[in-house]
Amino acid sequence: MFTFNIANGVAAFRQALICNLNLWPAMFNLASCLEKLGKLNACIKWLQRCAEKEPTYSPCYMALCNCYLRLGRYEEAVKAMDIGYNLLEKERQVFALMKLKLRISKRFSSIKVSYKN
C-alpha cells in the first residue's frame, strides 16, 4: 500500500519549482500539501501564483475560496468563488457544445460516446 508523506510532497514540489518556476501544476500541488499541513497563508501565496500562471484553472479558485473561508477572510472568499464559478460555467458551455458536435458529426457516428445529460 502506498502512503503519501505530505512533508516529502512539499519538498518534491518545491524542488520542481526550483527547476522551473512556471510549473503551475506543481504550484497547485504544493499549495494542496501546505493546506493539509494547516499552513493556509503559505497555501494562499502559492495558489495566487498558480492563478497568475494559469488564470483559467478553476480548481485553484475553489481552493483559494476554501482557504479564505477557513481564515475568516469572507470578501476574498467570495471573489475567488465568483471567478471559479464563472470559469466552471464557461467550461460547462464548452462541453455542451462539444457534446452537440459529437452527436451531429457523421465523422464520429461509429464511435460510442457516453455522457450524462
Least confident of 73-77, 81-85, 102-106: 102-106
Predicted confidence (pLDDT) at residue 117 exceeds the cutoff of 50: no
- How far is the C-alpha of 20 from the C-alpha of 68, rounded, in Å? 27
Please determine, looking at this structure, whether the domain spanning 6-108 carries the CATH number 1.25.40.10: yes
Task: Tell me the per-residue pLDDT of 87-99, one tens digit each, with 9 for 90 and over.
Answer: 888 877 777 776 6
Mean pLDDT estimate for the chain? 85
Domain residue extents for the chain: 6-108
In the prediction, which pLDDT does 114 show? 55
In the prediction, which pLDDT does 39 show? 97
DSSP 1: -
